[in-house]
Structure 1
Amino acid sequence: MKYEVSEGRLYLRREPEEKQPILSRLARIEGQVRGLRQMVENDRYCGEELQQATAIMAALREVSLLVLQDHLSAGIDHAATLLKEESGSDEGVKTAVTEITTLLRAVLKQ
């Protein structure tokens, strides 16, 4: 996976085949949301609506985890590269760990 660093942040540059698993899940989630909307419009049983909403939230968590996995992979690669370039400095690792920790906090607050 390719990435670039700008202003201390990692930006992933995924190839189309790397994006596909995430895009497929998002398309499925779109369908689930449309289904939930129809359920509400048709006055379906609340338990079924809640079950669908719960499934949507779980699917979104999975998307978040896929994005996080990609970011962790790029962050660790970047930190390793910086260590090699800086002859043993751990500043790159500290930066990557700080960014990863920030992202983990955001995901876990879901």
Structure 2
Amino acid sequence: MQTESSKKKVHRLNRIAGQVRGVAQMVEDGRYCIDVLTQIQAAKSALAKVESEVLKDHAATCVSEAIASGNEADQREKFNELIVLLEKQRL
């Protein structure tokens, strides 16, 4: 079952997808570059907000559960997942 939080994220992602389609149309129409870039920045910002929410959810559930379990292997796995994710963001 989808939670209210999940529904909100999906709704936001659908809006972002529409925004990206709009940017593609702007490029096809030969719109002014600064206008296109402004819309790209807005889409990136909106996507970053959803990313932040998903990361918060992961920390509040999966990571928290691994810590509470006392299972060192699970804790190490969740920690390593976060490290790999953060390393990818730097690229």
TM tier, shorter chain? 0.7 to 0.9
* Corresponding position: 1:75 with 2:56: no
CA distance in structure 1 between the partners assigned to 2:31 and 2:85 by the alignment: 37
TM-superposed deviation, 1:91: 4.1
* Corresponding position: 1:52 with 2:31: no
Percent identity, aligned pairs only?
34
TM-superposed deviation, 1:59: 1.4
- Residue 99 of structure 1 is matched in structure 2 by 81
TM-score (norm 1): 0.67
Which structure 1 residue ranges, 5 or more long, are not aligned?
1-13
Q: CA RMSD in A?
A: 2.1
Q: How many residues align?
A: 91
Aligned pairs for 1:1-110 within 5 A: 15-83=2-70, 90-106=72-88, 108-109=89-90
Per-residue CA deviation, residues 51-90 of structure 1 (Å, 9 max, x unaligned), is 111111111111211111111112332223321xx6xxx4
CA distance in structure 1 between the partners assigned to 2:83 and 2:60 by the alignment: 14
* Structure (1/2) with the larger strand percentage: 1
> Does structure 2 retain, via aligned residues, the 8 Å contact 1:72–1:100?
no
4+ runs deviating over 3 angstroms: none
Bigger CA radius of gyration: 1
* Structure (1/2) with the larger helix percentage: 2
